[in-house]
A and B are shown apart, each in its own frame.
Chain A
Amino acid sequence: MHGSARGAHPISVSEALYPRGKVAGPYPALPTRADEAYVDFIADARNFLLHAQQRPIAADSRELVRRAGLPASPDPANTRRAAQTLMADPALRIYHRVKRSLQEAFWNRLLAAFGGRRERLMAALDEADRRGPGSVEYDLDAPVPEYARTQIHLQPGGYTGEPLAGVLYDFGLKVFMGGAADHDGVAKTAARAAAAPLDGQVRRILDLGCSAGATTTALKAIWPEAEVHGVDLSAHMVRYAHLRAVEQGLDVQFRQMPAESLRYPDGHFDMVLAMLLFHEIPTSIARRVIGEAFRVLRPYDPSDPGAALRSSRVGVKP
């Protein structure tokens, strides 16, 4: 079950992942200044489109929908017609095409940049597997559900098909969040917002769909005495998440498993949190994930007057 190094020579994580140091907290600096400039261009263009242009584009879209005689509020019966109306507009076509091209160009560059030192990075992951604090368990041959084989957000190889998925996702999130994820800001905010049990007993915490583990480590930093687990169905993600936690000296347990099929006993955790998971999975899977979250959550005492509020211990961020 536990993954192991496959004959790789030992290599320091710093040497492999951070030869140019870190940026904005935990993120590895890109391999070259040219990579950084390229990504700066993409990030600025994305910010221009998503922030400066989003409002006028939205207003134009509403006007086009109105002129087409379609209802202003979401109406499933007219969704196809609304989509056709909007995509017939030249400005909207360019807007969406440019957004798509920027996303593609960004990932291509990131893959080329980190992929250029693939062997070293894989050796660093192998090395980190054997190190603590914390631990990682994964099985590279575990079956991957069909819904997880897609290239979510166009990330090359998706989360399960590219061994460097963890570092790609981590840096991708930093760029796509436009600075909000710098110094793990978004993850720390989510971890702080997670409600603790009213009795204050926090022995075990679970982070569902933990990806690169930023929220998982943020939870550990807030609850240092608790046993903190992060699960993700991607072996590549939990390996990178473990490496990232080791770098921070945080004792976190990462396990590869689907959030909709947890291998934990009933009532095992005092808090369960999911961050940026639900927008990436089908509705039917999301329902199973929520069911599992409640199953592994410590049952409340019905005689406790605060019991009704316990459901807030399951934190959900789409």
Chain B
Amino acid sequence: MSARPEGTGESLDYVRDLPGYHPNRPQYFDSEVVDHLVGIVLEFGAELWVMRDRQAHLEELLAEQGMDARAALDRRARHWPQAATCHPIPDTARWLHTPPSEPAS
């Protein structure tokens, strides 16, 4: 296909330099990693919305059967020890703060 539209004398070659020109590898940022991260964040957003939608519908279904699940959940006391959910976090933090080892000489 010609890159020059008929009758205008205008070259369309510049479109090849546009970030979205390559159908399978569009690159809008200097690093491809950032491009992929945007896609990943949106994917997380979409899946989060899927879960919220599902939960809302589930609560609605339960309400139709006489159970106010939302209020019941809010009334529900935590029944497992806090340490069970939180202890991995300090472990992770310790790992993060471990100084990097010296590179092998």
User: Which residues of A come within 8 Å of B, CB atoms?
Assistant: 33-34, 36-38, 40-42, 45, 76, 79-80, 83-84, 87, 93-94, 96-98, 100-102, 104-105, 109, 146-147, 150-151, 154, 282-284, 287
Contacts and interface: CB of A to CB of B under 8 A. Distances in A.
Given A40-B49, A84-B17, A101 B10 contact: no
Interface of B: 1-2, 5-10, 13-14, 17-20, 23, 26, 28-29, 35, 38-39, 42-43, 45-47, 49-50, 53-54, 57
Contact of A34 (B10, B23, B39, B50): B50
A101 B50 contact: no
A261 B64 CA distance: 59
B53 A76 contact: no
Q: For A76, A101, A150, which residue has the most chain B Cβ atoms within 10 angstroms?
A: A101
A96 B28 contact: yes
Given A98-B42, A283-B7, A287-B6, 12 more contacts: A34-B50, A37-B49, A41-B46, A41-B50, A45-B42, A87-B18, A97-B29, A98-B38, A104-B39, A154-B23, A283-B5, A284-B2
A76 B9 contact: yes
A35 to B, nearest CB: 9
Contacts of A287: 6
Contact of B53 (A37, A80, A87, A283): A37
Identify the 8 closest CB pairs spanning chains A and B, nearest first: A37-B53, A76-B10, A80-B14, A97-B28, A41-B49, A37-B50, A101-B39, A41-B46
Contact of B8 (A76, A146, A284): A76
Contacts of A45: 42, 45
Contacts of A33: 53-54, 57
B58 to A, nearest CB: 10
Nearest to B18: A83
11 contacts: A33-B57, A34-B53, A41-B50, A42-B46, A79-B14, A83-B17, A83-B18, A84-B17, A96-B28, A146-B1, A287-B6
B45 to A, nearest CB: 7
B11 to A, nearest CB: 8
Contact of A284 (B6, B45, B53): B6
A96 B9 CA distance: 28
Given A76-B10, A83-B18, A147-B1, A37 B54 contact: yes
A188 B28 CA distance: 38
A38 B57 CA distance: 14
Given A101-B39, A147-B1, A38 B46 contact: yes
A37 B57 CA distance: 11
A146 B57 CA distance: 47
A100 B18 contact: no
B42 A105 contact: yes
A100 B53 contact: no
B91 to A, nearest CB: 33
Q: For A79, A84, A93, A96, which residue has the most chain B Cβ atoms within 10 angstroms?
A: A93
Nearest to B8: A76
Given A37-B54, A96-B19, A100-B26, A83 B14 contact: yes
A227 B45 CA distance: 48
Contacts of B54: 33-34, 37
Contacts of A76: 8-10
B19 A101 contact: no
Contacts of A98: 38, 42
Contact of B20 (A40, A41, A96): A96
Contacts of A101: 38-39, 42
A94 B38 contact: yes
Contacts of B45: 41, 45
B77 to A, nearest CB: 30
